[in-house]
Structure 1
């Protein structure tokens, strides 16, 4: 079994192949909660600049420097250091589509500036944002959502970037590096560099599907928030990272989340007699606090527990 790969190279709404690609993207998101897209958004030189120069240099800094990457939003966190038995670390940059956020992050490590790092990250993010808009538009249009609803939805969004590094594992420790989970986001665009690791769970839970780290592809996975606004039409993608190589691994996650204070609910077009309301409206701040609580980590479906319509007292209205 494999996740369908959709070619979006040089495709826009006026292109002859748009409707066909949109249908394939929508089916994949509904069936798997994710889609793999082939695109020219990130050229070979841009990938090399980030993965082979900027990121290796970044992760070489001492721990005390890395720990200066903090987040005002405790749910998003900043630097995640190496945990016992887990050779994994990552940085998070909030409001990443704002160039000042990139420069502020860069100044932690290079107080006198690092134009190459900033230019590389800004270009990378700009291209990922355009791709995310395309996949989101295709998915929502494919489900029957009107353009004005999509436009209003985008006003509630903000974006973050997570730069991740996995060390070379010992033979005895090869296995699942990050356990199965869904993301408390709308979508996450995952860019793997050369080394495999990402796996998504089949909808029926019967197996894990490996997503190859092909140079011309990006994986878009759905998170809990997309499940809410699509009234359950798009399931949050259950995924994990499994170390299956004796090489270090770099990856980038471009995440779309809701702005603080936003209240999310199912889009009107996606609630009807055949598709009754599945989730009560949720306040993003409250959900994020719950989602990162000890209680939520013990649950198989935190979203259902928090705002499923059958749960008494879960409505925020």
Structure 2
């Protein structure tokens, strides 16, 4: 089971009324250092964030439950040809998992078109408000990562990534016993912000001893996960962490993932400022679209 490691992931507070979130202050650069070290040493960290209230999260997951309660034939109408987008139902590898993917969430048109007859206006506004606040949080993390390495934002690839959101449900295992609900994997994007409905299940593999740790985050917290693209972008300095979902007991688990996806046709390459004699380039330049198709193929 998880929690075998002596290590726990760092918890970093992003307090909105603190000098830490005022870019350019000494406190800001101290925050940048903590985030960078967490991403390099663990590949993830817990974000204690007070700008998204627990009530908004509770209302969001209430709307999510309504979506997953729809008949299967209705859920299958959420179609998208891109890998990991659209509706995914239970499979041999993940029999407890269901997920909805909505892309281009900057304008949320795919979300609106699919849910206009399912959610009330208030529920849709709740979901859109949650997405907007997660976009703001991801933009802040982008700036923190850039500043942690002393890089300019004007021409930087991670600042022009597109958004993909996935709403996820993990059924309770029939036996109630400790069961894999999502196989171990790394994300292929730049980074992912995760939150859940307070039913635990997310586990990460600690870099130092490769043991698994089960995460239990507070109602105010989120988890940021480094993806393969950010690992390549940072020339291997940031750690793309292996993670999975393991379920036990009788409760279903609902979670939300907000992905920062490289835009179509992006070439992921190590930043020249991060390549030197001590850190030679460790990953070849990647054409993200080809990379994504290869990963999702047989």
TM-score by length of 2: 0.90
Indicate yes or no: 2:90 matched with 1:82.
yes
Name the structure 2 match of 1:211.
215
Name the structure 2 match of 1:298.
none
Partner Cα distance (2:141, 2:212) in 1? 23
Partner Cα distance (2:285, 2:23) in 1? 31
Partner Cα distance (1:260, 1:46) in 2? 32
Give the 3-state SS of the residue equivalent to 1:17 in structure 2.
helix
Unaligned runs of 5+ in 1: 295-317
Name the structure 2 match of 1:154.
159
**Residues 150-189 of structure 1 correspond to what in structure 2 (within 5 A)?**
150=156, 152-155=157-160, 157-171=161-175, 173-189=177-193
Instruction: Tell me how many residue pairs correspond in the alignment.
Output: 287
Name the structure 2 match of 1:281.
285
Change in Cα spacing, 1:137 to 1:183, as seen in structure 2 (3 Å) is same
Q: Cα RMSD over matched residues?
A: 1.8
Q: In the alignment, is the contact (CA less than 8 A) between 1:32 and 1:237 conserved in 2?
A: yes
Of 57, 60, 65 in structure 2, the residue corresponding to residue 50 of structure 1 is: 60
Of 40, 44, 47 in structure 2, the residue corresponding to residue 30 of structure 1 is: 40
Q: In the alignment, is the contact (CA less than 8 A) between 1:144 and 1:270 conserved in 2?
A: no
Indicate yes or no: 2:228 matched with 1:224.
yes
Give the CA deviation at 1:235: 1.6
Partner Cα distance (2:249, 2:105) in 1? 31
- Deviations 1:272-292, CA, capped at 9 Å, x for gaps: 222111122111111011111
Give the CA deviation at 1:208: 0.8
Name the structure 2 match of 1:305.
none
Name the structure 1 match of 2:4.
none
Give the CA deviation at 1:12: 2.8
Give the 3-state SS of the residue equivalent to 2:207 in structure 1.
coil
Deviates more, 1:1-10 or 1:97-106: 97-106
Q: In the alignment, is the contact (CA less than 8 A) between 1:145 and 1:270 conserved in 2?
A: no
Q: In the alignment, is the contact (CA less than 8 A) between 1:271 and 1:277 conserved in 2?
A: yes
- Deviations 1:14-43, CA, capped at 9 Å, x for gaps: 555322221111100000111111001321
Give the CA deviation at 1:231: 0.8
Indicate yes or no: 2:15 matched with 1:3.
no
Give the 3-state SS of the residue equivalent to 1:147 in structure 2.
coil
Of 110, 113, 123 in structure 2, the residue corresponding to residue 104 of structure 1 is: 113
Give the CA deviation at 1:229: 0.8
- Deviations 1:247-299, CA, capped at 9 Å, x for gaps: 111000000111111122111211122211112211111101111122xxxxx
Partner Cα distance (2:255, 2:179) in 1? 17
Give the 3-state SS of the residue equivalent to 1:37 in structure 2.
strand
